[in-house]
Structure 1
Amino acid sequence: MKLNNTLHIIFILFFVQIGFGQNNLSKEILGQIFEKSTSVDRVNIINNTTQVSTISDADGKFSILAKEGDVLVFSAVNLEPYKRRISAEDLNLSLLIIKMTAKEIELKEVVVNENYGITAENLGIIPRGQKTYTPAERKVYTATSTSVDKILNKISGRTAMLKKEVNVEKKEMLFRKIEYLFDENYYTERLKIPADDIKGFQLYCMDDAEFAVSLNTKNKTMSMFLITELARKYLIILENEK
């Protein structure tokens, strides 16, 4: 009787072991990879459990050995990584469909200037190295370019008027430069110029030839040095006007 019971237990354990072994037996899985409705080739597939790997073909199809519970990892340069834990249902499918997502690539803003580098010199319209003029300077040049023009414009006083326009234009350009170079706090806190007198002080600086040169040559160090001395002189003028 005891022998029969022992044999019965052995048979039960044997069949349980067989069943367990069958459940853990690897099976070849056939699958196909899609990104939206398009099949994807050259996707790397690796079984994280067994480290077996393969690559999808031109139709996005692949085959790999796996068992229930194994994790398959799918990766490609232009796709988001995807993991799939194999279930019993997956093992029974004739074709395992894997849907992957394309990576979102953020592009930096690109500004295209089609006319960059195109100048009158590059196009051969004017000779290279020719002096360029502001609108006011061009008027003066035109008014004094021929002997007849010189005589007529001197008589009419037009040349003097145009030269005055050039001076005004140059001062306007210098004024814009000094406004850009120094903010209001610099005048009031560093140079001690009253806020109401800043514009007047800027115009005062415009008349200083050395300071004008420093602005035109973009020599900020020299401009800061000169404007400090100009501020000292201007404050004396303001004090004397009281």
Structure 2
Amino acid sequence: MKITSLIALFLFAVQLAFSQSENPVHGKVTTEGFPTAGIEVINQTSGSVVVTDASGKFSIKAKVGDVLIFAGKNYTSRRVTLNQKDFGKTGVETNMNQEAIQLVEVEIKKEVDDVKPEPPAVAPLRSVDNILNSPTNMMVYNGAIIHGLDFVAIGKMVGNLFKGKKKDKVISNIEMKEYISDNFNKDFFLNTLQLKEDEIEIFLEFCYADAKMSTLINNNNVLEITDFLISKKEEFRKLKN
């Protein structure tokens, strides 16, 4: 009985000494399942600071009950109070969330090249002697029609009158999805439009239903499509509310 009591007392003393002394605690920081480098790990109790490496891992001295603060630029800070399990092999697994970047104002300006048109070149006047001595004597009629009608150009103009107006190509939803995927990444919808991840597909279907989307993709103007998506986001929010 005395031996059992002594063993229990010894184990309690060891645990108490461990909890009051600093020991290395290991851990890993991830964001959406991917390792996150450059996150500061601060022991609020002792004031020591380390930074996660390229694999998102860190090691810092601490003791049971210490508070670790995880902070990084564009990330939401997290606090973790250490317990006995955190000093084991598994260590501290922490997930960081990126802060949404608010787009205050976007101003799009069309650049215009500042090129001044050059005045047309003026041909020098020819003297009467030069005209008479010219290989093509303008004073003698040779049967050619000078400044005659350009029948080829007139034929093209007449043909254009009978051509119908070219219609825009009809863009399918699959082609729209491919275009959006090629020109807009996931961060644009999460950060710029501030949509939730499960709202992105529903929002795009809402945009595809607008005939203007097909016209803009036909024109291949990314700036106009960006404005269109921002305006549609406001309509989408009103519908949800």
Q: TM-score, normalised by structure 1?
A: 0.41
Q: Higher relative contact order by CA 8 Å / sep ≥ 6: 1 or 2?
A: 2
Greater fraction helix: 1
Structure with higher Rg: it is 1
